[in-house]
Amino acid sequence: MHGFEVSVTYEEDTKKSNGVVLKQSLEVGKTVDEGSKIVITVNKLAEIKKGTVNVNVKSITKYKPEVDEDGEEIPADEVEVMVKVTSAGTEDTVYKKKIGKDTENINLTVQGVGTITVKVYVSGILERQTQMNLNDTNTVWTAE
């Protein structure tokens, strides 16, 4: 393209592959003068990144161990813990399990695009929620 001024802009179209030309400022087959400016718009998809979520159920439920009349520790009651992640407008359940109230560390890898919302439910009740920017260098959140 000798004698043309070319500039590239980027847009996101999730229905097309990364790096595909989405449009150009001049019509196909049109004759243009030398020195004309052409703007090419290229598809640039946001990158899926990962983060870490740690859930401390013992802290969230304020669990305190109890002992029976013989001084033996009574096993902790179980609760259902569910973690949901919302990325790019879509919410997914990434963890759902019945575990003891005394569980201190559920370690989960989450993924998404840009800033995601993480919600932690215990026995169906939303207990903790945060926004995580997965583009940051430190993408670790502890729900406690």
59 and 84 in contact (C-beta within 8 Å)? no
pLDDT, mean of residues 23-51: 88
Ordered by where they begin, the domains of the chain are 5-43 (no CATH), 48-143 (2.60.40)
- The span from the CA of 134 to the CA of 85, in Å, is 12
| Cβ atoms < 10 Å from Cβ of 84 | 18
Average pLDDT of the residues of the chain: 92
pLDDT, mean of residues 117-127: 98
Q: What one-letter code names the amino acid at 32?
A: V
For the segment 73-115, what is each residue's pLDDT rounded down to a tens digit?
999 999 999 999 999 889 999 999 999 999 999 999 999 988 9
Is the predicted pLDDT of residue 1 greater than 90, yes or no?
no
Confirm whether pTM is higher than 0.75. no
For the segment 44-79, what is each residue's pLDDT rounded down to a tens digit?
888 889 999 999 999 999 999 999 999 999 999 999
87 and 27 in contact (C-beta within 8 Å)? no
